Every structure is written in structure tokens, then in C-alpha cells.
Amino acid sequence: MTSALETRGLRKSFGAMVVTSGVDFRLAPGARHALIGPNGAGKTTFINLITGRLTPSAGSIHLAGEDVTALPQSARVKRGLGRTFQINTLFSNLTVLENVTMAVSERLGRGGDKFRFAGSRRDIVEEAYELLIRLRLAEDALRPVREIAYGRQRLVEMAIALGLKPRVLLLDEPAAGVPSAETAVILEVMEALPADMAVLIIEHDMDLVLRFAKTITVLVRGAVLTEGAPAEILADPRVREIYLGEGHHG
């Protein structure tokens, strides 16, 4: 079966410093996959290579079998790659509804329309609003993002990504900075994601990882240490020593 996402020999170095060294990675269609590793393991760099924010020094990236290594970010998004950011990357002066409408509008290829009012596409606004209802953001729809709580802003991150209807969704620490009482909503949203959407999550919160992921890949110093089912990973003494020993925030 063709992987939803695959990297072959992916490598990235900044001068003499190698941050990603020959990563072979496969994300199956509909996967619930987690990428874990201690701070500085190169997890976010890996995401940035996949999305095209960074250009790899060597190796290739494939989306549903197609080599997208040379394609710009926007072209990869058009091919079904969506992401959230570790640090909220939102339109903070726009309303929650506008934030999500922007994504839906781009997905439908209407983002560049010049001579029809944005409001004239009621279907686009309605689709965005339905997403807000699903993510329990409806009551904040007309508030500027900067005014809502950080935990709810994390949900806006998710809503924007979902507005793209991605086939592959990359979640970069979706619960980062969220009080533990509020992570439940985020997990709930993640569990309700469509079954055919392949999801890769980077997360420090091991409770969240164990509850969500069916497969775990451990990244250490830019290379894959091991990969397997959660139980295998937890039982692996190297993982216990390297990761759970020092980087456990949960």
C-alpha cells in the first residue's frame, strides 16, 4: 500500500550541525502515529522539512507516492498536507471565524478572488462555522483570536488545519502550553478526526501520546532510534533511559 507520507534518507544540516540524519519514515493512510524524542531531537525540523518550510540537504519526501521534495509549501498543502504549529501561528487580530474562513477559502481555490465580496460565499463561511461548532469554538466566533484563552487558541490552530481537509495532518505539540485540565478537549477533537486522515503528532505529553497513537517513532539526535507499538516502545530500555528519564513532562 502506498504511504500517505514517506521520507527517504531525509537529511538536513546547518553547516557542520546535522539536525536530521537520514530519516526513513512512513506514515500509513489513516495512521495515528506519534513522533517523540527529547528536546533538540529534531522533531520540529522534521515537520518543517515535510511541509517545505525548510529545504532538505539530501533525501526525498513523498505524499501519496508523489515526490514533493521540490515543491513549495503551498503546492504541498494543495496535495493534502495540513499542519498545526507548536507555537500559535494565527491571525491574532482577526476573528476566530475569519481565521478558519481563510483556510476554507484557500482550500477551495477562492483565496485569490478579487471582485466578489468574501461574504458573498455564504457556503464557505458556513463550513468554517460548522468546524467551530465541532471544536466548541462557536461562542468565540466573532472575537479576535488575541482575546481568547491560550488553550482555545490551540483549538483554533486545529480548526484552521481541519479547514484544509488534509489527507495528512501534522500536529506539532497540540497540547503545548495548555493547562492539563483543558487537554481533554484537544484529545477529544483528535479522537474525532476522520478515520481516513493520516495523523502524525509530535507531543511531550506521554499520556496524550499513549491514549492517541497506535504507532510511535522515537527520534534521537536527528535519527530514528526505534519504531513500534506503544507497548513495545514503553518496554524498550533505551527509550526509557533516553526519553522517559529526562524529557517526561506528563
Partner 1 sequence: MFLYRAAPTLSPVEYMVRSHRLRWPELLPWLAILAAFFAFPSYLALGAQVMIMVLFALSLDLVLGYAGIVTLGHSAFFGVGAYTAGILAAHGWGEPISGLVVGGAVAGAVGLVTGLIILRTRGLTLLMLTLAVVSMLGEAANKAGWLTGGADGLQGITLDPLLGLFHFDLFGRTAYVYCALVLLAGWMFVRRLVHAPFGRSLTGMRENTARMHAIGAPVRQRLVTVYAIAAALAGVAGALQAQTTQFVGLNVLSFELSGAVLIMLIFGGVGRLYGAFVGAPIYMVAQDALSRLDPEYWFFWVGLLLVVTVMFARGGILGVVDQIRRKVMR
**Interface with partner 1 by CB under 8 A: which residues?**
51, 53, 73-78, 82-83, 85, 89-95, 97-98, 101-103, 105-107, 110-122, 125-126, 129, 132, 138, 141-144, 160, 163-164
In angstroms, give the least distance from the CB of 172 to partner 1. 11
Helix extents (H) in the chain: 43-51, 73-78, 96-107, 122-134, 150-163, 183-191, 206-212, 230-235, 237-239, 245-247
In angstroms, give the least distance from the CB of 45 to partner 1. 15
* Nearest CB to partner 1, comparing residues 77 and 233: 77
Cα–Cα separations (whole angstroms), residue 47 to 54, 170, 177? 9, 7, 19
> Phi first, then psi: what are they for 193, rounded to 5°?
-65, 150
Q: How far apart are CA 216 and CA 203, in angstroms?
A: 11
Range 140-143, long-range pairs (CB < 8 A, 24+ positions): 140/96, 141/95, 141/96, 141/97, 142/95, 142/96, 142/97, 143/95, 143/96
* Nearest CB to partner 1, comparing residues 91 and 244: 91
* Nearest CB to partner 1, comparing residues 41 and 102: 102
In angstroms, give the least distance from the CB of 189 to partner 1. 18
- Give how far the C-alpha of residue 8 lies from the chain's centroid of Cα atoms, to the nearest Å: 20
In angstroms, give the least distance from the CB of 90 to partner 1. 6
* Nearest CB to partner 1, comparing residues 20 and 99: 99
In angstroms, give the least distance from the CB of 222 to partner 1. 23
- Cell output for 171: 500536529
* Nearest CB to partner 1, comparing residues 65 and 119: 119
State the sign of the Cα–Cα–Cα–Cα dihedral 219, 169, 149, 179: negative
* Nearest CB to partner 1, comparing residues 39 and 114: 114
In angstroms, give the least distance from the CB of 184 to partner 1. 25
Cα–Cα separations (whole angstroms), residue 54 to 24, 51, 72, 199, 207? 17, 8, 10, 21, 30
